[in-house]
Chain A
Amino acid sequence: MKRRDLLVGAALSGMSCSKKDVEARVVLEKSNVAVIKASSYESELLSKLEDGMREAWPEAPASVRDKTVVLKPNLVEFDQNTCINTDPRLVLACRELFLKLGAKSVLIAEGPGHRRDTWDLADQAGYRKIVSDFDGSFVDLNLDDVQSVRAYGNSMDLFLPKSILNADLVVSVAKMKTHHWAAATLSMKNFFGIVPGSIYGWPKNLLHYQGIDKSIVELNRIVRHTFAIVDGIVAMEGNGPIQGTPVSAGVVVMGKDVAAVDSTCARLMKLDPLKIQYLKDSAALRIPGLGAIEEGQIEQRGETISSLSRPFAVIDDFAGLRLA
């Protein structure tokens, strides 16, 4: 039994706690986030991820065994030599990590917002060359069969890929980048790629109409069986997520609470997560396991933030987000 179960169990057994107290205490429980130093994609990435997993999610071996895991990288452009995409070597290491943890299958799935030929994009970005059985394990989320879920305050049916909705665990293997609309694109924003283009078009206009920040939070509210691994080995600063410049941040960030992971990434980028709208909004939902964004709510493991943080250049609109 976990500490969280004890808290809830104690409260529900009538030990003078109101429902409100339970909610407050559950939300207040700290979220584990592991900060892993990794200066390149070449050296011992798998063992570093294993270390990170032990810190971030000690229960992973029991939780992942015999489960279907979907890795959702951030795959945007064809060029293998850019920092736009999640590096294929990290995705490969993640795949090996979850297979070693006993997963029944580990799929790789993406639905890019700007390019329709997802499969060739993954091929040219180096994924097919590096991932064995790529042809049998890659899913184009833009073209997948879909199922509807109620969304945006129960105001509409949102169609999402069955590969995501039916997975036991969806791992956001995101890239650490600045973003010209949302300030930073990390593990939460990466879920824009699960919205199918075949229903909503390219780019996924619906998400912009509903509001980018609102949509980021909504997708992460809907897909709750998640884990986050953010690729900041080579990250992007400036006018991201496509036209920014590479920056060697030398870090991988991991955790089950995607908002806690993204808040940690923001601090590593010397941006204030408490001023990033979608992080504030996700915290306001008070959903257990989604939204620990204050430093005191996060159990920081691995490297310290101060040892690896560096200021990321941002566009003028986000200059006010800088941490001193």
Chain B
Amino acid sequence: MMSIAAFMESVELRLDLLRKNQNADGGWGYFPGKMSRVEPTCYALRALGAGDSAWTNGIRFLTACQEKSGGLNPGPGIPGPTWVTQLAFPLLKQAGCDGKSLEAAANWILNSEGAEGGILQRILHAMGKAKVEQDPSLKGWPWRPDNNSWVEPTAHGLLALHWMKGHAPEAGIRYRREIATRMVLDRRCFDGGWNYGNKKVLGETLPSYPETTALALLGLASSGQDLKASIERAKSHLAASKGSYGSALLSLALRLHGEKIEYQAEHTTGHPSRNLMLASIEILASKSGKEAFLP
């Protein structure tokens, strides 16, 4: 067991890494010296919190990535809105961005959905001949427009819906929450956890992964669903997890579901990869509760 001093030092080292590596445009790259992207910036801002001196510039970077459609692109020079809009929306809301921007982002999220459910897919599903076992009528969110729904962007879509009150029609929020929740549950693996978005392909059952199980549970926080089997699976993943990313996300997700979990970073002096997004998630896993993800 790590001492409290060592634990604090481990968190402080990671906070220091983030503060030292904020780019001039206000964002963070995935690694020190790399170009800013929305995803690591969102996690860094969550880890540092609204009180940190880096916050304002970080939010400025996010708003600069918002396009006319209301969605955010992945980063400068990479045009086209994507799933990172869901990841950023709660932060834009927390930062008190102007109503029109929030409304446009909320509208983009509500109108973005998976591309599955075409007529051929539905016929094959009805005949039991689809290559993947899933209900194609249940749509969540894709990584990019015109792609199928996957667990991670859908989890962040579900979390974003919690922050939309007053910026989008209640009926639309409710509808997307219901269908996307059912989609995530439909894609759950037979072992109780989640793979990236399928449970059975070509007749072979797929195993769940630690990180995707954690992300699905994050998305299903406050959903009112019976998730006992999934929480047990998440705990067993955590006990056996081989990667810091999966372990940190699992600790975070389990805490959101009321489990008493203390995250202890494997690399106390910082992960050797110097991955800034991972550092942020490890900070969140060490100290945060619901407030980082839910209003």
Binding site for B on A (CB under 8 A): 78, 114-117, 119-121, 124, 135, 140, 143-146, 148, 159, 180, 198-203, 205-206, 209, 239, 243, 315
Contact = CB atoms under 8 A, between A and B. Distances in A.
- Residue of B142, B204, B243 ringed by the most chain A CB atoms within 10 A: B243
Interface in B27-61: 29-31, 34-35, 37, 39
B196 A117 contact: no
Given A124-B243, A135-B272, A143-B31, A202 B196 contact: yes
Nearest to B243: A120
B30 A119 contact: no
B79 to A, nearest CB: 8
A206 B78 CA distance: 15
A114 B151 CA distance: 12
Interface string B195-211: 01000011010000101
Given A143-B31, A198-B37, A120 B147 contact: no
Contact of A114 (B37, B148, B196): B196
B143 interface: yes
B34 A145 contact: yes
Contacts of B201: 180
B278 to A, nearest CB: 8
Interface residues of B, number: 38
B146 A209 contact: yes
B244 A205 contact: no
Given A146-B78, A199-B78, A205 B209 contact: no
A23 B146 CA distance: 39
A116 B83 contact: no
A117 B30 contact: no
A146 to B, nearest CB: 7
Contacts of B150: 201-202, 205
A87 to B, nearest CB: 18
Interface of B: 29-31, 34-35, 37, 39, 74, 77-78, 82-83, 142-144, 146-148, 150, 152-153, 196, 201-202, 204, 209, 211, 242-246, 271-273, 275, 277-278
A206 B144 contact: yes
B202 A180 contact: yes
Contact of B143 (A119, A135, A146, A200): A200
Contacts of A201: 83, 142-144, 147, 150, 152-153
Q: What are the nearest 8 A-B pairs in CB distance? A: A201-B143, A120-B243, A117-B245, A143-B30, A119-B273, A117-B243, A205-B147, A124-B242
18 contacts: A78-B242, A115-B209, A117-B243, A117-B244, A117-B246, A119-B271, A120-B242, A120-B245, A124-B242, A143-B34, A145-B35, A199-B74, A200-B144, A201-B83, A202-B152, A202-B196, A205-B148, A205-B150
A12 B209 CA distance: 57
Contacts of B39: 198
A205 B198 CA distance: 13
A127 B209 CA distance: 21
Contact of A135 (B30, B243, B273): B273
Nearest to B150: A201
Contacts of B209: 114-115
